[in-house]
């Protein structure tokens, strides 16, 4: 069966695809979203958008929908040096926003649908064909259908199969860190602070992101040689015990905590495609570039991809040209983000005498204060 009635088809219906598709549909473009999950479940994904990502969400017209349904504005961030008020101290004067990822996906798919996009759920894309007349193959209940469009937007996430089918090659810069996450309830912690605290002494980073309905997404990043994985429910005790070493606020907050979902671990590092456009196929979100979750820039980057691609397509009737323009911009802002996050990694995560000396030179007072807090609370022995 053949169909030519869509200008854009997205592979996936996550944050990137639905934000982009909704924004294009609002401009009258005929968009089809193909999402394999009939119902979203907890995959342990990003649940805190940093302020520049919130600005992108505003630009895409989805900030209000997020805040009115699943999202919570989080005005403070704590990195172990005292709470920082983001509204008062950032150029954008915005709070961060948190949500439960599956609820955000449902919200944004609904938004895209009400803007005019067609959404098909429970269907899997099985191939992508770039070219002058690009297309996707879709499997639905044992039947296969080829769908043509002017542009295919691949947004199938960090393990993207579609980028491989479309002939893109992946570059990798793995870091010797793992990043684990689990959804908890019963945590004693402030509901207006997102905690991302680094403890270079142990090579740890602890994250605690409050959400609605007394839920908290807890993260733990740790240095590894690959032999130790905090993965699976039976490792929850070890996850919570290791988290206590991060800093004073993590010592008592988990005493009554219970898990509400899977405990999953991921490799940290960078995995990306240079120039994520070719022959009628554009990659966005984690299909284009995965950033180190320790620094929480992934959703902001994904929303920027959606906005930059939208703007390129709306300002140029030659979509091949627009795709290339998007890809050039993507290369610049992704590599700028990567460069800064790698500096932060050297400063906040690396261990050993050389890294200690670097911290001492760059930020003597905050690190001295953090170290003395750790000693006073006896966390190092715990």
Ligand X SMILES: Cc1cc2nc3c(=O)[nH]c(=O)nc-3n(C[C@H](O)[C@H](O)[C@H](O)COP(=O)(O)OP(=O)(O)OC[C@H]3O[C@@H](n4cnc5c(N)ncnc54)[C@H](O)[C@@H]3O)c2cc1C
Closest approach, Cβ 207 to ligand X, in A, equals: 7
Closest to 219 (Cα-Cα) out of 41, 42, 54, 47? 47
57 vs 379, which CB is nearer to ligand X?
57
Smallest separation (angstroms) from ligand X to the CB of 239: 13
Q: Which stretch binds ligand X (CB under 6 A): 86-94, 164-172, 253-261, 281-289?
A: 281-289
Shortest distance in whole angstroms from residue 194 CB to ligand X:
8
Min. distance of Cβ 265 from ligand X in angstroms? 8
54-93 residues near ligand X, rule: CB under 6 A: none
Cβ proximity to ligand X: between 121 and 190 the closer is 121
CA-to-CA dists, residue 381 to 207, 253, 270, 274, angstroms: 21, 18, 33, 45
Among 94, 286, 307, 334, binds ligand X (CB under 6 A): 286
Q: Closest distance between ligand X and the C-beta of residue 362, in Å? A: 24
Least spacing, CB of residue 137 vs ligand X, in Å: 10
Phi, psi (deg, nearest 5) at residue 174: -70, 145
In 3D space, the residue among 233, 228, 179 whose CA is nearest the CA of residue 204 turns out to be: 179
Q: Indicate whether 37 belongs to the interface with ligand X (CB under 6 A).
A: yes
Q: Based on the shown chain and the rule CB under 6 A, indicate whether residue 46 belongs to the binding site for ligand X.
A: yes
Contact set for ligand X, span 215-274 (CB under 6 A): 266
Task: List the interface residues with ligand X, window 149-188 (CB under 6 A).
Answer: 155-157, 161, 179, 181
Sole window of 33-41, 71-79, 244-252, 341-349 interacting with ligand X (rule: CB under 6 A): 33-41
The correct pick among 134, 221, 247, 293 for binding ligand X (CB under 6 A) is 293
Of the two residues 15 and 187, which places its CB atom closer to ligand X in the complex?
A: 15
Binding ligand X (rule: CB under 6 A), the pick from 9, 12, 269, 271 is 12
Nearest to ligand X of 277, 367 (CB atom):
277
Given 6, 8, 9, 15, the residue binding ligand X (CB under 6 A): 15
Among 32, 70, 94, 125, the residue binding ligand X under the rule CB under 6 A is 125
Least distance to ligand X from the beta carbon of 77, Å? 11
Dihedral angle of Cα 24, 26, 31, 34, to the nearest 10 degrees? 90
Which of 6, 8, 9, 11 touches ligand X (CB under 6 A)?
11
SS3 for the chain is: CEECCCCEEEECCCHHHHHHHHHHHHCCCCEEEEECCCCCCCCCCCCEECHHHHHHHHHCCCHHHHHHCCCEEECEEECCCCEEEHHHHCCCCCCEEECCHHHHHHHHHHHHHHCCCEEEECCEEEEEECCCCCEEEEEECCEEEEEECCEEEECCCCCCCHHHHCCCCCEEEEEEEEEEEEEEECCCCCCCEEEEEEECCCCEEEEEEECCCCEEEEEEEEECCCCCCCCCHHHHHHHHHHHCCCCCHHHHCCCCCEECCCCEEEEEEEEECCCCEECCEEECHHHCEECCHHHCCHHHHHHHHHHHHHHHHHCCCCHHHHHHHHHHHHHHHHHHHHHHHHHHHHHHCCCCHHHHHHHHHHCHHHHHHHHHHHHHHCHHHC
Binding-site member from 36, 58, 358, 371 for ligand X (CB under 6 A): 36
- Residue 134 in the binding site for ligand X (CB under 6 A): no
Is 22 among the residues that bind ligand X (CB under 6 A)?
no
When the beta carbons of 271 and 367 are compared against ligand X, the nearer one is: 271
Among 6, 20, 48, 270, binds ligand X (CB under 6 A): 48
Q: Which residues bind ligand X (CB under 6 A)?
A: 11-17, 34-37, 44-49, 124-125, 155-157, 161, 179, 181, 266, 285-287, 293, 296-300, 302
């Amino acid at each position: 069966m053949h169909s030519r009635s869509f200008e854009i088809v997205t592979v996936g219906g996550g944050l990137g695809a639905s934000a982009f598709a909704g924004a294009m549909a609002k401009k009258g473009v005929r968009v089809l979203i193909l999402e394999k999950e009939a119902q979203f479940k907890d995959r342990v994904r990003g649940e805190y958008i940093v302020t520049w990502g919130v600005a992108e969400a505003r630009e895409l017209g989805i900030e209000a929908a997020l805040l009115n349904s699943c999202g919570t504005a989080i005005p403070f961030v704590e990195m172990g040096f005292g709470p920082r008020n983001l509204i008062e101290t950032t150029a954008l004067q915005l709070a961060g926003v948190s949500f439960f990822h599956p609820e955000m996906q449902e919200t944004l798919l609904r938004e895209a649908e009400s803007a005019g996009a067609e959404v098909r759920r429970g269907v899997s894309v099985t191939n992508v064909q770039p070219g002058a007349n690009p297309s996707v193959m879709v499997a639905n209940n044992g039947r296969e259908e080829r769908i043509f469009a002017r542009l295919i937007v691949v947004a199938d996430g960090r393990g993207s199969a579609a980028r491989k089918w479309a002939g893109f090659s992946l570059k990798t810069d793995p870091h010797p860190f793992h990043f684990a996450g689990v959804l908890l309830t019963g945590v004693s912690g402030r509901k207006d602070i997102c905690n991302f605290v680094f403890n270079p002494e142990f090579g740890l980073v602890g994250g605690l992101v409050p959400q609605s309905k007394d839920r908290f997404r807890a993260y733990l990043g740790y240095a590894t040689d690959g032999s130790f994985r905090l993965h699976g429910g039976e490792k929850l005790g070890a996850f919570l015990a290791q988290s206590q070493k991060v800093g004073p606020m993590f010592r008592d907050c988990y005493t009554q905590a219970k898990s509400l979902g899977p405990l999953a671990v991921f490799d940290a590092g960078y995995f990306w495609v240079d120039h994520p456009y070719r022959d009628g196929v554009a990659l966005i979100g984690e299909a284009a570039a995965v950033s180190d979750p320790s620094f929480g820039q992934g959703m902001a980057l994904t929303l920027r991809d959606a906005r930059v691609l939208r703007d390129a397509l709306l300002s140029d009737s030659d979509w091949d040209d627009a795709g290339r323009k998007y890809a050039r911009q993507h290369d610049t802002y992704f590599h700028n983000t990567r460069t800064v996050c790698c500096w932060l990694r050297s400063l906040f995560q690396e261990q050993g005498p050389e890294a200690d000396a670097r911290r001492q030179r760059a930020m003597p007072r905050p690190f001295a204060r953090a170290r003395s807090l750790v000693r006073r609370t006896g966390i190092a022995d715990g």
